[in-house]
Amino acid sequence: MVFEKRVIFMEEITKKISQVDKVIGLKQVIKHTMKSEVKQIYLAKDVEESVKLKIESVAEKKDVPISVVASMSKLGKACEIDVNAAVIGVLKD
């Protein structure tokens, strides 16, 4: 599994996810990753450890790369939603 060690800047993440099909939230990301429908996962740096471990496990099983984003609030804003987002999955084309 590819796990980016750097935190992605807000402008960079917004550009990458604003125009793509995505799923938001732990349950949806796990569900679609297990169906091999996700090509990239963005995980907020400030998520609970249990969420991080679940996402890492699923991503490793399905060989999906994970990138870290500064915070849940910034990830939510990048997704243009009014709440925090712990994790999102970018869907395959």
pLDDT digits (tens, 9 = 90+) for 23-72: 999 999 999 999 999 999 999 999 999 999 999 999 999 999 999 988 99
9 — pLDDT class (breaks 50, 70, 90): low
Class (C level, CATH) for 3-91: alpha beta
Backbone φ and ψ for 25, nearest 5 degrees, come out as 105, 155
pLDDT digits (tens, 9 = 90+) for 65-85: 999 988 999 999 988 899 999
Domain boundaries defined on the chain: 3-91
Please report the pLDDT score of residue 13 as a whole number.
73
CB-based contacts of 45: which residues, under 8 Å, 6+ apart? 7, 68, 69, 70, 71
Q: What is the C-alpha to C-alpha distance for residues 51 and 18, in angstroms, rounded to an integer?
A: 23
